Every structure is written in C-alpha cells, then in structure tokens.
C-alpha cells in the first residue's frame, strides 16, 4: 500500500502510569502496513495540522489492524495526548518509518537495549515479537527511571521475561530516598554495569533510546570503551 497519510480512529486508550498513556489507533478499512517492529509514526491532531510529532510504535509488526504508541505527558503534544485523547477521537498518522530495528536475522544475536524513561516504548515491541515468534535472539533491557513508580510496562516486561528465558528486564532507579524498600539496582547506568551483560561482543548489538544525553553516553560507551563498530550500535534520539 502506498505511504499515504490517513486519519485513524482512537480505538482505545490505557493509562500505564499517571503521566503515561497508550493509544491504540485503528487502521481504516482496506489499510495495510508492512511496517517493522521498532519504527515510529508521526501524528497530528486534525485541528493542528502543522504540529506533527514522532512516536515510536510500542506495538510490534505481528500486531495487525492497529498501531499502538505510548506517550508521556511532556511538552505540548505529549501533554495534549495524555490529558485529552480518548476513544472515539481521531489523529492523522504519517506511516511508520525508521531504522531502529531489532536484528532478528541472523538468529542468535544478543540485543542489549538501554532505555531512559519513556524511551523504553520500542523495546516492548522487540520483546513481544521475539517472544511470540519464539526466536533464539536474546534481549536484555537495561532501563533507567527515577523511582519504581516510573517504570512503564513493568508487569508486561516481567511476564515476557517469565515466558521467554531469553528476555531479561533490569531496572536501575536514580532518585530513590535511602529508606525506600526497592531491592533492585540504584544509581545511574554505568559503563561497568552495561559491560557486565556483554558475554560475546561480536554477537552483541546495542540499542539506546531516550534523551540525546543518555543516548550519546551509551554510544560513547559502546564505541569508545568497548571499541565496537558503529554497525553494532543503533540509536533513537528524542531530543
């Protein structure tokens, strides 16, 4: 199907957290999309056609009939979507594009996916597709949030990890009060922490998604500290 811009009905919405919402956009009749997991769509409101913003798909290529995006209340577009959008509304959708794609072929790669805050959204698609297809690809998600209350898809990632032993989900919290009972890791993502997950550098592909600063720090770690080539590092910078 041609890459045309279409108006899509909001089929449903789900508050993942008090400031994060998943929006399911229904494909109109006859619409087909040969998109890939990890790509993003660009959205705009019918009454604001000049204001367009990109959103990574949090659904995966196996999900047909709709796109899902997961949006944080941030800035104009993020706030308008989280605070206002509801089932029955509609948005214009510029079709999926992007090269932030999981390497599932050849099989057996280890994808180390580093995310900050809402930057975890495309990795939901990675883990879902690999699990549904029972792929031999290993997916390790290293996720930095301020507190456990900021973890998006906490339940879903834990379920995927329980179903698929090749999916691992590790969280580090950066702003916890000392008395907080969180028994997971604390502190920022460090080179040593990331390196501790690398067992076979040649078969590892790194992904980083989130703020420019976080993504650039991971790029530096992979290319300078680990000395891996650019081809083994994929980035999605959100600004």
Ligand X SMILES: Cc1cc2nc3c(=O)[nH]c(=O)nc-3n(C[C@H](O)[C@H](O)[C@H](O)COP(=O)(O)OP(=O)(O)OC[C@H]3O[C@@H](n4cnc5c(N)ncnc54)[C@H](O)[C@@H]3O)c2cc1C
* Beta carbon nearer to ligand X, 10 or 228: 10
85: left (phi over 0), alpha (psi -120 to 50) or beta: beta
With binding defined as CB under 6 A, does residue 71 bind ligand X? yes
Rounded CA separation 102/113 (Å): 10
* Beta carbon nearer to ligand X, 115 or 167: 115
Q: Do residues 192 and 220 make contact, with C-beta atoms less than 8 angstroms apart?
A: no
Tell me the closest approach of the beta carbon of residue 93 to ligand X, in angstroms. 14
Stretch binding ligand X (CB under 6 A), from 105-113, 142-150, 214-222, 231-239: 231-239
With binding defined as CB under 6 A, does residue 118 bind ligand X? yes
Chain residue whose CB lies nearest ligand X = 75
Please enumerate in sequence order all residues whose Cβ is within 8 A of that of 68, keeping only pairs 6 or more positions apart, or say none: 22, 23, 24, 25, 57, 58, 59
With binding defined as CB under 6 A, does residue 121 bind ligand X? yes
Packing angle of the helix pair 121-132, 154-163 (nearest 10 deg): 20
Of 75, 88, 108, 187, the one binding ligand X (CB under 6 A) is: 75
* Beta carbon nearer to ligand X, 166 or 210: 210
With binding defined as CB under 6 A, does residue 175 bind ligand X? no
With binding defined as CB under 6 A, does residue 235 bind ligand X? no
Rounded CA separation 186/189 (Å): 9
Site string for ligand X, 48-67 (x = CB under 6 A): -----xxxx-----------
The DSSP secondary structure of 10-62, one letter per residue, reads: EEEEEEEETTEEEEEEEPPTT------TT-EEEEE-TT-TT--EEEEBSS-TT
Q: Give the containing element (helix H, strand E) for 157.
A: helix 154-163
SS3 state at 74 = coil
Tell me the closest approach of the beta carbon of residue 83 to ligand X, in angstroms. 12
Listed in sequence order, the DSSP H helices in 58-153 are 75-84, 121-132
Of 28, 49, 65, 76, the one binding ligand X (CB under 6 A) is: 76
Tell me the closest approach of the beta carbon of residue 201 to ligand X, in angstroms. 27
220: left (phi over 0), alpha (psi -120 to 50) or beta: alpha
Tell me the closest approach of the beta carbon of residue 84 to ligand X, in angstroms. 13
Of 37, 70, 144, 164, the one binding ligand X (CB under 6 A) is: 70
* Beta carbon nearer to ligand X, 104 or 153: 153
With binding defined as CB under 6 A, does residue 69 bind ligand X? yes
With binding defined as CB under 6 A, does residue 95 bind ligand X? no
| Separation of first and last alpha carbons in the chain | 31
List residues near ligand X by CB under 6 A: 40, 53-56, 69-72, 74-78, 118, 121, 236, 238-239
């Amino acid at each position: 199907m041609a890459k045309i811009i279409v108006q899509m009905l909001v089929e449903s919405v789900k508050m993942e957290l008090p400031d994060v919402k998943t929006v399911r956009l229904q494909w109109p009749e006859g619409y087909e999309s040969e998109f890939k997991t990890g790509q993003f769509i660009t959205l705009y409101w019918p009454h604001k056609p000049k204001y367009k913003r990109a959103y990574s798909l949090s659904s995966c290529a196996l999900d047909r009939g709709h796109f899902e995006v997961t949006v944080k209340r941030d800035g104009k577009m993020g706030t308008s979507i989280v605070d206002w959008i509801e089932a029955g509304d509609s948005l214009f959708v510029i079709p999926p594009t992007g090269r932030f794609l999981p390497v599932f072929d050849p099989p057996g790669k280890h994808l180390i996916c580093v995310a900050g805050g809402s930057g975890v959204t495309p990795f939901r698609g990675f883990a879902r597709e690999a699990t549904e297809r029972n792929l031999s690809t290993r997916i390790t998600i290293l996720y930095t949030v301020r507190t456990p209350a900021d973890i998006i898809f906490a339940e879903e990632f834990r379920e995927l990890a329980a179903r698929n032993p090749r999916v691992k989900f590790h969280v580090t919290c950066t702003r916890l009060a000392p008395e907080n009972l969180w028994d997971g890791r604390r502190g920022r993502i460090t080179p040593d922490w990331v390196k501790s997950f690398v067992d076979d550098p040649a078969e590892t592909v790194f992904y980083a998604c989130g703020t420019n600063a976080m993504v650039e720090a991971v790029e530096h770690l992979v290319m300078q500290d680990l000395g891996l080539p650019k081809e083994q590092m994929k980035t999605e910078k959100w600004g």
